[in-house]
Structure 1
Amino acid sequence: MFKGKTIWITGASSGIGEALAYEFAAAGASLVLSARRLEELERVKAACGKQGAGADDVLVLPLDVTDEAQIAAATKAAQGFRGRIDMLVNNAGISQRSLCVDTDMATYRRLFEVDVFGQIALTKAVLPVMQDQGSGHMVVTASVAGKIGVRQRTGYCAAKHAMMGFFDALRAEVASEGIKVTTITPGFIRTNIATHALKGDGSEFGKVDKNIAGGMDVGKCAKVIMRGIEKGKKEIPVGEGSEMKALWVKRFFPNTLFKMVEKMG
């Protein structure tokens, strides 16, 4: 299914993006890897070679999604790599660890610039490419936090709720044009997301919290996502903790869910 396809992954230097790069490389795809850290992207490219990707099958394309001036040139480079972009995996993002009362407005704005506006800007740049092709697939890493609000994540939850809304609406707009949209809703996955999360003043949280440390292995997570994409799922929940059950509780017993999260530490 992925052999010969050109797949652009943002946030590819670590976590879910890195793990997906290895899965797509093993499946025979050509990859465009983007993030801010060139050295880490080169490391991931080298590791993709161990999954069967040749040196010419992976393009390293550094990109800060919050810098709109970079996006047009990056999109042109990504399309020029193989002449098309079959899939865009919007995976860049940051999290938060702070109470609302302690969170600066600048921190909220930073969360939205990375997690929402950066994704929208890149999607808008790539969408005409897919429309001209008559096909394409937009994939976005949202979160269980895009469905459920919890303590110390007001900005992160708001951003992820916004992402879910935007891409659900986009799906309705482009369905008739041969373009698919898939939202991924991970729960707790063992990545460095907590380490790089923002505190109220905008500084890094700098440590792994218990929920992330006890979460699903990121490689296992990537395999679940791959199976979901292969099956044509429009939404892919992935995780193995109680947070995944909370999605079901929210749907059928919202008041019960609200009481549950109020009691969480």
Structure 2
Amino acid sequence: MTQLAGKTVWITGASGGIGEGLAQQAARRGAKLVLTARREAELERVRQALPRPQEVALLPLDLAQFDAGDTVRRAEAFFGPVDVLANNAGISQRTTTLETPMAAYRQIMEVDFFAPVALTKALLPGMVARGSGHVVTVSSVFGHIAMARRTAYAAAKHALHGFYDSARIELGGQGIRFTLVCPGFVATQVSANALGPDGRPWGQVDADIGAGMDPAVCADRIWRAVEQDRYEVMIAGKEAVAVYIKRFLPLTAYTAFARRLKVM
């Protein structure tokens, strides 16, 4: 069982949405926090709203371009070794295959896949040496399914599952735990910040996301899964149906189902 009280928890993408919720819920559980995002002012806002801001350190970072080894040293200079890494930062898209430039594919893979892998690999030697550590990675229902206008996003999320499932097989017997989280619709700015056809933010909150789960509720369910050492948890409502259609019905049936959906 991974308990957060007294532990050092590093959360990426912590300036809003699920990441802010993770910070709030971890602080309530007694953790010391290192918060990372690009926007330092927003990180400071999150810190000041937490119950013990003196136990919260800020590490602003652009996950599209950084040195993992140096970043880990800076993170561990605050409160000592990181016990729990929560890879939450990510970027989505709202573009078709034909209109998505290769630069957008590379950007999404850098932030959504290579960045969490780099941070994980930089932390793992210390975790292995201590015989303990927990890596929590926010994937998505798109780690299991595909949909129109999500070729890059779905590819990155699928890749996370391949990496972390394999790492669990290798290191699970050495005290290292891995939890993959697959949220569905959560009321965040993920669609507004998604890459549009011109490479700029989409700028719109999709209706299904705007009506989605409260990020604080999602975050609480994530930490509950971590406390239970769950390998994977899906946090979704009716959108979970698509995952089961993909899993249990022929691929032709899922493809026909997905083609009928109106996807932004």
Shared fold by TM > 0.5? yes
Q: Which range moved further: 160-169 or 21-30?
A: 160-169
Aligned to 2:35: 33
Where has structure 1 moved over 4 Å in runs of 4 or more? none
Cα distance, 1:57 vs structure 2: 0.8
Letter in 2 for 1:236: V
d(CA) in 2 for partners of 1:226, 1:120? 21
Count of residues in correspondence between the two structures = 259
Partner-residue secondary structure (3-state), 2:135: strand
Aligned to 1:250: 246
d(CA) in 2 for partners of 1:33, 1:223? 17
Task: Give matches, 1:160-239, under 5 Å.
Answer: 160-239=157-236
Letter in 1 for 2:248: F
| Cα pair distance change 1:166/1:31, threshold 3 Å | same
**More relative contact order, 1 or 2 (CA 8 Å, 6+ apart):** 2
- Percent identity over the alignment is 45
Aligned to 1:147: 144
Partner-residue secondary structure (3-state), 1:68: coil
d(CA) in 2 for partners of 1:22, 1:188? 20
d(CA) in 1 for partners of 2:82, 2:109? 25
Task: Give matches, 1:99-178, under 5 Å.
Answer: 99-178=96-175
Partner-residue secondary structure (3-state), 1:127: helix
Aligned to 1:20: 22
d(CA) in 2 for partners of 1:99, 1:140? 26
Determine if contact 1:38/1:62 at 8 Å carries over to the other structure.
Answer: yes
Letter in 2 for 1:3: A
Letter in 2 for 1:28: G
Determine if contact 2:4/2:31 at 8 Å carries over to the other structure.
Answer: yes
What are the Cα deviations for residues 196-236 of structure 1, in whole angstroms up to 9, with x where unaligned?
00013311100101121121111111111122112221101
Determine if contact 1:95/1:198 at 8 Å carries over to the other structure.
Answer: yes
* Structure 1: gaps of 5 or more residues: none
d(CA) in 2 for partners of 1:72, 1:37? 21
TM-score, normalised by the number of residues in structure 1: 0.94
d(CA) in 2 for partners of 1:254, 1:140? 29
Determine if contact 2:64/2:107 at 8 Å carries over to the other structure.
Answer: no
Cα distance, 1:251 vs structure 2: 1.5
* Structure 2: gaps of 5 or more residues: none
d(CA) in 2 for partners of 1:120, 1:151? 26
Determine if contact 2:8/2:81 at 8 Å carries over to the other structure.
Answer: yes
Partner-residue secondary structure (3-state), 1:237: strand
d(CA) in 2 for partners of 1:254, 1:203? 37
Cα distance, 1:56 vs structure 2: 2.5
